[in-house]
Structure 1
Amino acid sequence: MLLIIILCVVFALVVVMRATLVVVRVRGGSMRPTLFDGDLLVGARCRPCRTGSLIVFRSESSPGGRDSYLVKRVAAVPGQLVPLDFPELSDRIVPPEVFLVRGDAARSLDSRQLGYISISAVVAVTICGLIPFRRLAGKQSENDI
């Protein structure tokens, strides 16, 4: 009987965690030096987002013309001033229901090319990163191995 209760509790925890948490592997170098190719991130689906947060979002405008998921830093949230390094946008204030995002690397696919990112496209706000063993060994990316 005790085993059945323990298994039910474990099953319930797994279901709740899968509904609220996301694990994402970083691909590419647009978030260097913060994140490297192959790094793992844990994100929460229902966490509030603010300027500086790392988010995972669905992008319909990514290279190749297919949906993909991108990891970027929030540059501005609704109601904030549009940063000066977004000259392509004519608005002075970020409209409701959208974000501006930017990559940490100098050359990055972000809101300067994609424009505003809809709040509904956000999959998760990152909670923490999991450091792969290769990074602990001093390797920066899978290509360094």
Structure 2
Amino acid sequence: MLTRFPWFVVRVSGGSMAPALHDGDLLLARRYRGQPLRVGDIVVLHRPTGPVRLPPGAEIQAGPVAPQRPGRLVKRIAGLVGPDAMIVLGDSPGYDSRLFGPVPVATTIGVMVRKLRTA
């Protein structure tokens, strides 16, 4: 089972992380297993496909999300909302917390370690 491996490679799709990352860049990521996340970390997360459900007690409203295809996003953590939610943004405007609000930390798949190859 692939989830046993601590590392994985992800390909950036789209331009929302430019100028730091570009469409086609390959990234090495460390699988997320509950380690502390920090503002500024670039994370791979499950794409919100409907209204975001925040953990109990979160005070920030999530915005409505138009139906999206399942998949992954690569975004930068712009803020932490308590221990269970985060605000994720692209370095350029795109599909991020400006549209769908904070997301649960549990949607995190991995944390970028370094860029392997530039497209």
Compute the TM-score of the two structures, normalised by the length of structure 2.
0.75
**CA RMSD for the aligned pairs?**
2.2
Matching residue of 1:102: 89
Return the offset for 1:18: 5.5
Decide whether aligned partners of structure 1 residues 70 and 130 sit closer, same or farther in structure 2, where only a CA change above 3 A counts. same
Higher strand share: 2
1:69 matched to 2:72: yes
**Post-superposition, which runs of at least 4 consecutive aligned residues in structure 1 deviate over 4 A?**
15-18
Residue ranges of structure 1 left out of the alignment (5+ in a row): 1-14, 78-93, 136-145
Residue ranges of structure 2 left out of the alignment (5+ in a row): 50-64
Structure 1 distance, partners of 2:71, 2:18, is 19
1:100–1:117: 8 Å Cα contact kept in structure 2?
Answer: yes
Count of matched residue positions in the alignment of Structure 1 and Structure 2? 102
Decide whether aligned partners of structure 1 residues 131 and 66 sit closer, same or farther in structure 2, where only a CA change above 3 A counts. same
Computing the radius of gyration from Cα coordinates, the structure with the larger value is: 1
User: Percent of aligned positions with the same letter in both sequences?
Assistant: 37
- Cα shift readout 1:15-36 (whole Å, capped 9, x = no counterpart): 8995211110000000000001
What is the 5 A alignment of 1:1-145? 19-45=5-31, 46=33, 47-61=35-49, 65-77=68-80, 94-105=81-92, 107-132=93-118, 135=119
- Cα shift readout 1:40-61 (whole Å, capped 9, x = no counterpart): 0111113431000000000133
Structure 2 distance, partners of 1:28, 1:95, is 30
Compute the TM-score of the two structures, normalised by the length of structure 1.
0.63
SS at match of 1:49: coil
